[in-house]
Structure 1
């Protein structure tokens, strides 16, 4: 009988290096090459040509109401006209359910198809940038540029599509999806749309993720997406399941909710610290990422414009596919309805495999139980170190005012969490290594993965086994599970299974779980940094049928420790503010024009010399100012305030145009305006005041579905936010019970703080930038109005406030 000889160090090293190379390729293969080729034929989509559009659009911030906003609109119109398209614009006031009022101007064009009265494909992005400092190169000049270059390429091919192609570049997306709401609910073309391709961004780099937006099932959408032959699909049904559980906030959401129109979002989220900041500029946009957007658009536009869209790719809710990308195959998919059989079947296979291994004396129950120690030990310790490590450092000066939730050194912290988990795995598995227990040690990770699939993906009624956590899109986790069972089977039947065969079977685990190690903390914030450690542990656990044969896992643990220390060291070395990763700072001058007082205020938790120059060394907490919360992305309130000198500024005028009584109801129409430029008007009114009806600039306001009361969705006392265009006044008409006297506060903001010489605000140092997501670098003028009950009852009493 031949004695067992462990595998050689050389073959083990080669297999390990192969795994490392595959992990590198997993990330590298997500996007097209970085090469930006010039002089490509007119019939090919060109990253270089798309970049020219990005450069032209992102010269300066172009939020709604800015002069640059009109320049960008005119540029896009001119580019589409140069392609021979007839371009129109659509303008009108809209207000979302949360009181965000704007006057967007959408840009529209249409390529006629050969089939009359056919359904249309719509390509979508938005051209406004976020107020007020972002240049919007990624969000969403990249999307507009992708469409401009894509449409030019399509027309250059001289192929008339079967279906019409509508180009819709919306406005005021950043304010409340106002442009999309205007198009879907008021433009006649909206009735023709069967499918939407929407291009977005929430960072400045990384792969672009495909996300399905539908009221029904995804089956037909995924079938056609696969048939289109997209070369670099970064799409999986787990993201689809998660996306359906959380609030969505892209233009495409309006198409789904208001128009019952299916669509696909394509959005990249890498370098999230650039999102909505001054750093969202032409130079920082990842060229790979822009090429990836084009790699989605061209095959999908060609395919979807030439298939039958009469059914609008709609199927009943629940008629869904599990889907995920794999190399060569591109997209793998199977129906949700297979999940119960696959989960039960894989569980039975696991039991059969254990019994078979015990019978062959290659698995023992004791060793299986022992295998849970290194796996769960790595899982628990990795979680504790990464989670509480982040808790320990996130209160530091470098992190507190980075509102994105993803700091400049975030990638290095993710790498540190992953390497910590790897170090623990190698160390603990080395302690439990025996030359004949690899199959036994492999059972614990497979069982835990099967348990995860059972708990979150097994359908029970309208949900899953855990109420509120039903993610059937995670059903593709079963693929690496089944591959892992085959790897264990090889280890049962062969003392020295082929590393080549084992590595091939490990590909599903490597290609499925590796991207998630990075993607989850980037997408959902550093609060879930521990997920990187957990997924790394799970991945290494699934590789135990290979790594378990390595006799020098202690050496790998030492190398992992060194790598962890390097990542931690580099993360801390990068934890400083520089011109390339500036500190976010904020300053607002708040003037009460009724009592002629003024204050300086900031959102900063950590004050810099720049803010202290106005607020002093020991400013007071701004709790009084925060009784009225100014609209912001994360509901951020002022942190500090200090008394400021009162300067004579143009007054905010409040005029009463109509004041009428009808039975027990009173209707008041007010006009709020200023002779000087205003970019934003906030209206506050205590929630104890209830309104029966209302109009804003001629538009009916949103009403509650049950009570039918007007303006029900208030964030604190905030009633509405008006984003001003061309300094047009706000006309607010409200109907309420005649026996009440509503009290209003009007905040008029202009983004000219740094340009107002009387206030003498110095420019920021190079290592600082304007804080995103809040009202910043602004002059805020306040007026208070109480609608006292009239002493004379008439149908109309015009007066001035």
Structure 2
């Protein structure tokens, strides 16, 4: 409902704005949107090649531009047909951006609605009462906002995403409960309640999520005996100006994922399980992240690293298992019906962190 409300608001603004240009003919109104869309598609073709299909509705817009230039009263059916590519391609994006990436993407959905409106201008341009449509859109916007407000609670059909992790720091032998939630659900507040605090150490580097975001709150947790991975240094030598290091990391419990971060150091070479990482990747690592290894059957992770001798190397390991709710060492209850696991982030997991330092 919120999505529909903001889409209607964007459409309202568009009709109101273009209603101010009554004296300008439709072909002239199309020049700026066409130029903008061609510029946008040019940038997309360079920086986001997988989205090059964005140009398809622009071709339809150019055909519609030709039609309205050569015909004083073009057929509405022709213009509707030429508007279909824009609706077919962009309407799903407008709906799915906020659903897939959260309500913070509502701005992107509203912007895409406006861009889609530009593609439909050949059809709307000949409608004389744009202000009436703007008023209608605004009334519908208010109606949808009121409806969304009174129906914004969580139910089994529209459940609240929740997250909870147990994070054990093997270096300090301390543990914390952690969450990605900004507004804690009652289920989460059992563990992260009045004593919650904003994380410090876990804020900069944390296991990957779709939103590239860290934990929002943590609180102290009881210490459990979680087995850390076995670390074997199979080779540590200096050849010329490089230090060569080979490390084997073997899980000592059932785990699903291992992520390895480094400090800010330039790696000359990195090989993971006999797969060499590219120079481009090593030069553009974010937050020091080296690898993510999705583990099956508790396989080991073998690292072969080369870096300038005399430099200090720190490896931070994040080892995760997705068994918090079913591990015999914990008594975390199942979620209520109006709660679901938060998607796209590490969830219901036991996360162990460990740092290795090589001077």
Place the TM-score, normalised by the shorter chain, in its bin. Answer: 0.7 to 0.9
Of the three residues 627, 633, 638, the one matched with 2:210 is 633
Alignment of 1:115-264 (within 5 A): none
Unaligned runs of 5+ in 1: 1-408, 433-439, 491-500, 705-709, 789-801
Cα separation, 1, equivalents of 2:8 and 2:291? 44
Of the three residues 24, 29, 32, the one matched with 1:451 is 32
Give the Å deviation of 1:621.
0.6
Correspondence for 2:101: none
TM-score for the superposition, normalised by structure 1: 0.39
Cα separation, 2, equivalents of 1:506 and 1:635? 42
CA contact (8 A) 2:26 2:68 kept: no
CA contact (8 A) 2:197 2:218 kept: yes
Give the Å deviation of 1:442.
7.1
Of the three residues 745, 767, 782, the one matched with 2:353 is 782
- The C-alpha deviation readout for 1:267-315, integer Å capped at 9, x for no partner, is xxxxxxxxxxxxxxxxxxxxxxxxxxxxxxxxxxxxxxxxxxxxxxxxx
Q: Which has the higher contact order (CA 8 A, sep 6+)?
A: 2
Of the three residues 735, 739, 752, the one matched with 2:306 is 735
Give the Å deviation of 1:416.
2.6
Correspondence for 1:772: 343
Correspondence for 1:715: 286
CA contact (8 A) 2:241 2:309 kept: yes
Correspondence for 2:94: 521
Secondary structure in structure 1 of the residue aligned to 2:325: helix
Secondary structure in structure 2 of the residue aligned to 1:522: helix
Correspondence for 1:412: 4
Cα separation, 1, equivalents of 2:31 and 2:11? 25
Of the three residues 140, 146, 159, the one matched with 1:569 is 146
- The C-alpha deviation readout for 1:214-242, integer Å capped at 9, x for no partner, is xxxxxxxxxxxxxxxxxxxxxxxxxxxxx
Alignment of 1:525-536 (within 5 A): 525-528=105-108, 529-533=110-114, 535-536=116-117
Change (3 A) 1:558 1:598: closer
Cα separation, 1, equivalents of 2:259 and 2:245? 18
Alignment of 1:70-81 (within 5 A): none
Cα separation, 2, equivalents of 1:537 and 1:455? 10
CA contact (8 A) 2:257 2:321 kept: yes
Cα separation, 2, equivalents of 1:695 and 1:558? 62
Unaligned runs of 5+ in 2: 98-104
Change (3 A) 1:690 1:478: closer
Cα separation, 2, equivalents of 1:671 and 1:538? 56
Secondary structure in structure 2 of the residue aligned to 1:621: coil
CA contact (8 A) 2:83 2:123 kept: no
Of the three residues 252, 261, 268, the one matched with 1:692 is 268
Secondary structure in structure 2 of the residue aligned to 1:784: strand
- The C-alpha deviation readout for 1:572-618, integer Å capped at 9, x for no partner, is 34433222222211111111223211111111111111111111224
Give the Å deviation of 1:779.
0.5
CA contact (8 A) 1:684 1:718 kept: yes
Correspondence for 1:701: 277
Cα separation, 2, equivalents of 1:769 and 1:506? 44
Secondary structure in structure 2 of the residue aligned to 1:779: strand
- The C-alpha deviation readout for 1:105-149, integer Å capped at 9, x for no partner, is xxxxxxxxxxxxxxxxxxxxxxxxxxxxxxxxxxxxxxxxxxxxx
